[in-house]
Structure 1
Amino acid sequence: MSSVQQSKVFDKNSLDNLRNLVKRDAEGYRHEFQLQYKHYEATRDIFLLQPSKNSKEFADLVMFIAQVSHCYPEECKAFRGELMDLLEKHATTLDAMLRRSLVQALILVRNRGLLTAQQLLPLLFKLFRCQDKLLRKQIFNHIVADLQRSNAKHRDDKLNRKIQNFLYSIVGEDNELSAKKSLCVLTQMYHRRIWSDANTVNVVANAVFHKSPRITVAALKFFMGHDDVDSDVESDEETNMELVSREDVYKAFHKGTKSTKKKKQAKLKRAQLAMKKLQKHHMDKGKSYSFTAIQLLHDPQGFGERLFSKLNKTNERWETKLLMMSVISRVIGVHQLLILSYYSFLQKYLQPHQREVTQVLSALIQATHNLVPDDVLAPVLRQLCNYFINDKSRPEAMVVGLKTVREMCVRQPLIMTPDLLQDLAQYKKYREKGVSMAARSLIGLFRIISPKMLHKKDRGKGAAASEQEVEAYGAFKPATGVDGIELLQNPPSDSEEYGSEMSDSDDEDHPQEASSQEEDEAEEQEMGEMSMKQLKKLAAKTSKKEEEEEEDWDAGILQQEDFERIKELKQRQLMKDVMRKYGLKEDSVAFSHTLEEAERILDQSKIVSDRKVDANELEYTKRYTKTKEERLQSVLAGREGRGEFGAAAGRRKSKTGGLSNNEKKKKKFMPLAARVKQAKNRQRTRGMKRLQGKHKNR
């Protein structure tokens, strides 16, 4: 072997140069590649004698062969198998840097298509057990990216089924690291809408009952809607985020040529959009109102009962118990389950001094729905009122209690009695504004659902004519057709729909009608110019279209426009009812605000048991008055950039505009006689002032 060939074998720069040459002309450099491959085999045999020793030369040769393996697939057949055997046998004893290099080489071979995912995944999940955080992150990112790339163009169901079955078996293992990482892969695939099926959700549901508390918490966070189920993995947006500084903005608009400015401005715009997206993600985190994962559970009743049994027996920390309570409450609310002993379990935590009591109260609200018997919730409501809503409680606790009572009554109004409601309504005149507003909100709720339970003075206008009452427990009215179809079949006239009749007037008063009439005349003129044959075709088309519409109507087929029309007519009908209730006239100023209240009533009439309850909304955020130092800081901040106070003469001197009329009069040119007369008048005035001064002194 010549000295030149030896330098190519041992020098990393030579390996990089040879790699580029091989990619350009693989056949021309086949002999050089064979020399390097023989040197790799010799180095591998020496390395296997001491696997724990770090060998940079061996790592460089492995990376070189992995990068050019697609150029010589026949020669590199045994290469990938040797690397996999090496990692499987000596994974725990290898040096950390060398181990990551070997894994990266296998990833390159997989990206070249020389290795299938089914062959590589079992080894990678075994490597998750190594105590190397960087290695676990590297493997996790590759698995997620590989699966996403495999399903980018079209869904590969065959590959997905095989990998899913493999991951399902790994999640149930006792090894915590492998099970945790496989669970993270499943949740990431679900959040990226690649594996959004029911099987994935139910495998995660089984992971809730794993022996490891960390896996249990990760699975519970998945059902809570959290993306950060693994602390080792950071989101791509946060890792690749670049903060935008003032210097970057200045350089983008004031430095460089025209073309470089455009590039900088485009990059700046991308960074700003990414920052806005990340801020919105953090603001909306955990506030999604759709529980699609919970809705895909195969046996929600069994899941809820098993998790509640685990909650009763667990000795985990308080945060884990809160997660369990939240998940149980969401499952109960979404599927309207009956786990009656769960409410008595929550009752023992209903204390104002309880740690994170608003989280417990939000779980209680979420678990309340109209199928829960009122006698089950009555003790809970009684304890809530006794401990939170009384004259000895702090205003913060009273506000939390009143808000919780209102949210529970929205979901199950039967738990409220007239006597209790009238007692709570008296807090509308409490000295603390937050308490009074919470009590008024409760009164406003029962003005809508059952005004008869309130005192006559609290019912508001139009309540005497209202016959709205709370339905009895278990009352159910089956739907016999589309809700609101009668409004579509018998639509109100224009006068009824908009609240006023339009009187006939001339075309000058109604230019829109005049323009529509002109258009009709133009259409008639066009039809007059058409031939008889064209008229027959047009008549046949219109009659056929009308027949199809009549057939669809008779068959009960409604279009999307029909449903939108039904919604609009419902809002109009509710608007009339609200106006009639409050005694508003059709031409009053409040006419425009009634539509908003009608939409609010429509929203409240929907099922609210599947909505998420934010614990922060139950808290009382009191606005305290500013201190003297805070007021002084605001005053000084308002003076920044403002001119200083001074005399009017100084402001006139600094004036840059023209002269005033008095100044012009003083500088006006006058004849000599007029100037002499003016001087005599000034002299006479001064003399009179002197005489007056002498008389005063005497």
Structure 2
Amino acid sequence: MNNDQAKVFDKNTLDNLRNLVKRDAEGYRHEFLLQFKHYEATRDIFLLQPSKNSKEFADLIMFIAQVSHCYPEDCKTFRKELMELLEKHASVLDAMLRRSLVQALILIRNRGLIQAQELLPLLFKLFRCQDKLLRKSIFQHIVADLQRSNAKRRDDKLNRKIQNFLYSVVGEDNELAAKKSLCVLTQMYHKRIWSDANTVNVVANAVFHKSPRITVAALKFFMGHDDMDSDMESDDEDTNLETATREDIYKAFKKGTKSSKKKKQAKLKRVQLAMKKVQKGHMDKGKSYSFTAIQLLHDPQGFGERLFSKLNKTNERWETKLLMMNVISRVVGVHQLLILNYYSFLQKYLQPHQREVTQVLSALIQATHNLVPDDVLAPVLRQLCNYFINDKSRPEAMVVGLKTVREMCVRQPLIMTSDLLQDLAQYKKFKEKGVSMAARSLIGLFRILSPNMLHKKDRGKGADGDATVEAYGAFSPSSGVDGIELLRNAPSDSDMDSDMEEAGESSDEEEDAGPASGSGSEDEGEADEQQGEMSLRQLKKLASKSKSKKEEEEEAADEMEEDWDNGILSQEDFERIRELKQRALVKQMMSKYGLKEDSVAFHNTMEEAEKLLNSRQIVSDRKVDAEDLEYTKRYTKTKEERLQSVLAGREGREGFTAAASRRKSKAGGLSNREKKKKKFMPLAARVSQAKSRKRNKKWRQQGKHKNV
């Protein structure tokens, strides 16, 4: 009995037994049943005092969880007992024991012995426990489990059950559980596993939660960046990111055996993919995620009005208010909503001394679109010009004001009057370069929109005098595909080829008919008769061919028109339409300056035209960064500052030195010239070499003396 007790309570014995059971389950069945009986006895004793710490009980639980897949019939009730123990006594259990119980359940779930919908409700209840490590491990398991379940194919049945459960948890008053469920939803959305409209609208409802932390997390989701609290965990690829060096690439392809090369190449591929993912996220800055999330809102008008009413009543921090302003502006701009009181609310923050005023101005720009009445935006524009753009303001404030006015005019040009535009255009000769460049940018915008609003000297060469700003609410619906006329009237390559072939055939016929005129005088009559007969036949054939060609062309034209009307277009047709649009835009721009299509400048401006076509989209959808509105003046550096920047740039480049210094510090053998100097030669050869050096030196001195 003493030996059995020693086996029971020794952890090393449990570890050895676990390894033996995994190798031969049937052979060590008796030892497992002995430990299982001891677990049942220890459990009954533990339930008498659940708050007591029991390390032996935790070791037994982990042992049985690790080998439960080997004895499924004997461990049927094991997982249910663990779940009941956590449900009843989770709040009073010791922290170490509670984490051991959760790890055992996670291990059983990874073995596939329990369903996710059975375990998830218990795990979300455990989010209420005041144990940060426990909440972190549970969150990581939930995200990994859902990602693993949807890796090969999308499990809609499981997703629907878990989503319904999470939706109910997000609306609860318990802050910890609601926050963690919201984190799971946002993580699943960013991993594009749950990227449907229901997930987005549940997060939208979380914006109006009682807890300010949950409100901020939901607002950050719609702004496109994750919550940076300690509760939000990032992927392993982002936290433990490695970089691939040239040495790693060389080792992966040049060093080692075939199997080791394959492993190193696979690791290198993973690192490169992770780097691309991170770089794409930094370049994108979450714009695509926020844009798609805002597009999936069921009732954007109601969401914007509710959030604006909460913004009016809230007493939260200034950062939270800024988040609310930005989210409202994005929703208004993307869906082109009308919340007219919102602009007067923003107007009271339009002052140069306001903290983070560029954030407010970016929100104002994003909330401006062509359906907002100009009389609503007129007071806002007037206050912006009075406070920011005047001779007493600082250059930084003037640049911010001019940039904001320009961006607002891009979205709603009707707010600008000719008198105000001419006043702002006078800043093009301001002494500060940033102010003058911002004013010239505003002038360049109205050279395209409405040149007649500018002074004659500011309109530029080749300005279109007929261009005017459309009236409020003017809308010209398109009857078909945009740019289909360009594709219909574009010259095809087949027409050019057929013209060239016909020209070549006519020239060949003339060459063949040329030498026939040089025949004898006796056969001239017969030849003329035959030639006349042949010409009649040819005329008849040509007439019939011309008729058939005309009929074929008419039929082809009818078929083409039917195709255009039916909307049968391929991807090549759309690419062709884009190319024709780009070429027409370049022709229009270059014709103002008298340049032709075959000029060098025409080809150089094709890329600029493509950028302009990309920018000609719905401008209210664009996200405006507050950093783009700021103006930072660059002062000339002193000699010491320049020297410091040069030395800072040399850090990490010690190996890149001059060739002479590398030769001096060379650690290898001697060069051929050095070997030649140390080469053994007979005495006569050394004497002759010395004489030749002396003779050469004498000749050099004489030549130098003669030149002098």
> Does the alignment reach a TM-score above 0.5?
yes
Cα gap change, 1:155 to 1:493, in 2 (>3 Å): closer
Deviates more, 1:563-572 or 1:96-105: 563-572
1:570 corresponding residue in structure 2:
581
- What is the alpha-carbon distance in structure 2 between the residues aligned to residue 20 and residue 239 of structure 1? 35
Give per-residue Cα distances to partners, 1:56-106, cap 9 Å, x unaligned. 111111011111112222211211111111111211221111111100101
- What is the alpha-carbon distance in structure 1 between the residues aligned to residue 400 and residue 132 of structure 2? 44
1:367 corresponding residue in structure 2:
367
Stretches of structure 2 that go unaligned for 5 or more consecutive residues are 505-554, 662-672, 677-688
Indicate yes or no: 2:187 matched with 1:222: no
SS at match of 2:574: helix
- What is the alpha-carbon distance in structure 1 between the residues aligned to residue 613 and residue 271 of structure 2? 41
- What is the alpha-carbon distance in structure 2 between the residues aligned to residue 364 and residue 26 of structure 1? 70
Matched AA of 2:313:
K
- What is the alpha-carbon distance in structure 1 between the residues aligned to residue 627 and residue 170 of structure 2? 34
- What is the alpha-carbon distance in structure 2 between the residues aligned to residue 418 and residue 492 of structure 1? 43
- What is the alpha-carbon distance in structure 2 between the residues aligned to residue 189 and residue 580 of structure 1? 53
- What is the alpha-carbon distance in structure 2 between the residues aligned to residue 578 and residue 310 of structure 1? 49
- What is the alpha-carbon distance in structure 2 between the residues aligned to residue 45 and residue 421 of structure 1? 86
SS at match of 2:592: helix
1:48 shift after superposition: 2.0
1:350 shift after superposition: 0.5
Is the Cα contact below 8 Å between 1:578 and 1:594 reproduced in 2?
A: no
Indicate yes or no: 2:401 matched with 1:401: yes
Is the Cα contact below 8 Å between 2:252 and 2:268 reproduced in 1?
A: no
- What is the alpha-carbon distance in structure 2 between the residues aligned to residue 60 and residue 248 of structure 1? 46
1:301 corresponding residue in structure 2:
301
- What is the alpha-carbon distance in structure 2 between the residues aligned to residue 200 and residue 670 of structure 1? 95
Give per-residue Cα distances to partners, 1:538-575, cap 9 Å, x unaligned. xxxxxx99998776445232222211111111111111
Indicate yes or no: 2:604 matched with 1:596: no
1:589 shift after superposition: 3.6
1:172 corresponding residue in structure 2:
171
Is the Cα contact below 8 Å between 1:222 and 1:229 reproduced in 2?
A: no
- What is the alpha-carbon distance in structure 2 between the residues aligned to residue 305 and residue 450 of structure 1? 35
1:250 shift after superposition: 12
- What is the alpha-carbon distance in structure 1 between the residues aligned to residue 593 and residue 387 of structure 2? 37
SS at match of 1:475: coil
TM-score, normalised with respect to structure 2: 0.80
Give per-residue Cα distances to partners, 1:144-174, cap 9 Å, x unaligned. 1111122222222221111111111111110
Is the Cα contact below 8 Å between 2:183 and 2:232 reproduced in 1?
A: no
Q: How does 1:3-18 map to 2 (within 5 A)?
A: 3=3, 5-18=4-17
1:52 corresponding residue in structure 2:
51
- What is the alpha-carbon distance in structure 2 between the residues aligned to residue 566 and residue 78 of structure 1? 68
2:542 corresponding residue in structure 1:
none
Matched AA of 2:588:
D
1:432 corresponding residue in structure 2:
432
SS at match of 1:582: coil
2:234 corresponding residue in structure 1:
235
SS at match of 1:77: coil
SS at match of 2:621: coil
- What is the alpha-carbon distance in structure 1 between the residues aligned to residue 79 and residue 252 of structure 2? 52
- What is the alpha-carbon distance in structure 2 between the residues aligned to residue 254 and residue 153 of structure 1? 31
Q: How does 1:32-71 map to 2 (within 5 A)?
A: 32-71=31-70
Q: How does 1:126-525 map to 2 (within 5 A)?
A: 126-228=125-227, 230-237=229-236, 240-241=239-240, 262=261, 267=267, 270-271=270-271, 274-275=274-275, 277-288=277-288, 291-463=291-463, 465-492=464-491
- What is the alpha-carbon distance in structure 1 between the residues aligned to residue 51 and residue 247 of structure 2? 48
TM-score, normalised with respect to structure 1: 0.81
Matched AA of 1:482:
V
Cα gap change, 1:290 to 1:667, in 2 (>3 Å): farther
- What is the alpha-carbon distance in structure 2 between the residues aligned to residue 43 and residue 634 of structure 1? 69
1:624 corresponding residue in structure 2:
635
1:583 corresponding residue in structure 2:
594
- What is the alpha-carbon distance in structure 1 between the residues aligned to residue 18 and residue 195 of structure 2? 42
Q: Number of residue pairs matched?
A: 621
- What is the alpha-carbon distance in structure 2 between the residues aligned to residue 240 and residue 195 of structure 1? 23
2:524 corresponding residue in structure 1:
none
1:302 shift after superposition: 0.5
Give per-residue Cα distances to partners, 1:355-410, cap 9 Å, x unaligned. 11111010000000000000000110111111111111111111111111111011
Cα gap change, 1:270 to 1:457, in 2 (>3 Å): same
Deviates more, 1:294-303 or 1:63-72: 63-72
1:532 corresponding residue in structure 2:
none
SS at match of 1:36: helix
Instruction: Identify which of 617, 622, 629 aligns with 1:611.
Output: 622
Is the Cα contact below 8 Å between 1:461 and 1:583 reproduced in 2?
A: no
- What is the alpha-carbon distance in structure 2 between the residues aligned to residue 598 and residue 275 of structure 1? 32
Deviates more, 1:630-639 or 1:312-321: 630-639
- What is the alpha-carbon distance in structure 2 between the residues aligned to residue 102 and residue 21 of structure 1? 23
Is the Cα contact below 8 Å between 1:190 and 1:200 reproduced in 2?
A: yes
- What is the alpha-carbon distance in structure 2 between the residues aligned to residue 114 and residue 247 of structure 1? 46
Give per-residue Cα distances to partners, 1:202-248, cap 9 Å, x unaligned. 11111100000000001101111112365323212466515569998
Is the Cα contact below 8 Å between 2:371 and 2:472 reproduced in 1?
A: yes
Cα gap change, 1:258 to 1:147, in 2 (>3 Å): closer
Cα gap change, 1:471 to 1:546, in 2 (>3 Å): closer
Cα gap change, 1:248 to 1:301, in 2 (>3 Å): same
Q: How does 1:645-664 map to 2 (within 5 A)?
A: none
Is the Cα contact below 8 Å between 1:220 and 1:324 reproduced in 2?
A: yes
- What is the alpha-carbon distance in structure 2 between the residues aligned to residue 409 and residue 610 of structure 1? 15
- What is the alpha-carbon distance in structure 1 between the residues aligned to residue 41 and residue 634 of structure 2? 76
Give per-residue Cα distances to partners, 1:446-479, cap 9 Å, x unaligned. 111111111111111111x441110000101111
1:120 corresponding residue in structure 2:
119
Is the Cα contact below 8 Å between 1:288 and 1:612 reproduced in 2?
A: no
Cα gap change, 1:239 to 1:253, in 2 (>3 Å): closer
1:252 shift after superposition: 5.9
What is the alpha-carbon root mean square deviation over aligned residues?
3.8
Matched AA of 1:356:
E
Give per-residue Cα distances to partners, 1:422-450, cap 9 Å, x unaligned. 11111111111111111111111111111
Is the Cα contact below 8 Å between 1:448 and 1:468 reproduced in 2?
A: yes
2:536 corresponding residue in structure 1:
none
Cα gap change, 1:578 to 1:550, in 2 (>3 Å): closer
- What is the alpha-carbon distance in structure 1 between the residues aligned to residue 273 and residue 613 of structure 2? 36
Give per-residue Cα distances to partners, 1:314-342, cap 9 Å, x unaligned. 00000000000000000000000000000
1:256 shift after superposition: 9.1
SS at match of 2:619: coil
Matched AA of 2:576:
R
Cα gap change, 1:610 to 1:74, in 2 (>3 Å): same
Give per-residue Cα distances to partners, 1:638-658, cap 9 Å, x unaligned. 99956999xxxxxxxxxx899
Cα gap change, 1:670 to 1:614, in 2 (>3 Å): closer
- What is the alpha-carbon distance in structure 2 between the residues aligned to residue 439 and residue 588 of structure 1? 32
Cα gap change, 1:455 to 1:549, in 2 (>3 Å): closer
- What is the alpha-carbon distance in structure 2 between the residues aligned to residue 644 and residue 631 of structure 1? 26
